[in-house]
Structure 1
Amino acid sequence: MERIHYAGGELLTGSAIAGAIVDYAAALASRRSAASVDIPIRTADGSTTRAHLLIGPASQLLTEPVETDDDELEDEELVSRLQAATSALSAVRPVIGGPDGFDDDDDRDDLEWPPIR
């Protein structure tokens, strides 16, 4: 298990989940972007619930391993989605047009960005 220190608080979640969150946050920060992520967490009384995190360029995340008798929290589908989103953000993309990637005639307001889930 891993403890995530986030926004002045702490969340206990699975190691693979915590690692995927940190990698995704770094990829988002490199693109100056943000996203929300819903993850399973273990509460102080040992029950399981979910937490909703907003991560992006200003996120200050720290994880640390935690020894516990509780079962490791796992969500393979979530980890796979986070890894795919991280890879997509990290992929090399060609620059077209001017230094910002747009020709002077391009209308930037017409761009549609797909949501990341």
Structure 2
Amino acid sequence: MMRVSYAGASFLTSDDIANGLFRFVAALGENHEAESLEIPAFADDGKAVLVRMVVGPASELVGVPEESVLEEPNTVDFVSELHKRTLALSSPRPVIDTEVGFSTAYDWDDLE
């Protein structure tokens, strides 16, 4: 398990979620974007909670491994979705010029 600190608060979550969160936040920073997330985590009393947070380019997260008697939840679906969102930010996107009259044809006759 990992204790993640952010904006003066901290929460306990699975290693997979924490690592996915760090990769996602790094991708957001590279794209100058921000996103709202609900992270599955544990409260200090051990109850499962959803941590709501907004992360973006200026987010400073810290993760510290922590021993816990809590059983790591099944996070496969959440981690998979976070991975997809990270890939979407990391993948090149085509640029489409919608300007009327745009052409890649060159007028070589003007060159002398």
Q: TM-score range by the shorter chain?
A: 0.7 to 0.9
Which structure 2 residue ranges, 5 or more long, are not aligned? 101-112
Pairs aligned (count): 100
Aligned to 1:2: 2
SS at match of 1:22: helix
Kindly name which structure, 1 or 2, has the bigger radius of gyration based on alpha carbons. 2
SS at match of 2:33: coil
| 1:49-68 matched pairs, under 5 angstroms | 49-68=49-68
| 1:4–1:64 CA contact under 8 A, matched in 2 | yes
| 1:40-79 matched pairs, under 5 angstroms | 40-79=40-79
Identity %: 37
Normalised to the residue count of structure 2, the TM-score between the two structures is 0.81
| 1:17–1:74 CA contact under 8 A, matched in 2 | no
For each residue in 1:8-34, what CA deviation from the matched residue of structure 2 results, as whole angstroms up to 9, or x when unmatched? 111111110111111000001100001
For each residue in 1:27-51, what CA deviation from the matched residue of structure 2 results, as whole angstroms up to 9, or x when unmatched? 0110000111111111111111111
Cα separation, 2, equivalents of 1:55 and 1:12:
17
Aligned to 2:80: 80
Cα separation, 1, equivalents of 2:74 and 2:15:
8
| 1:24–1:85 CA contact under 8 A, matched in 2 | yes
The two structures, once aligned, show a CA RMSD in angstroms of 1.7
- Counterpart AA for 1:92: P
| 1:16–1:74 CA contact under 8 A, matched in 2 | no
Normalised to the residue count of structure 1, the TM-score between the two structures is 0.77
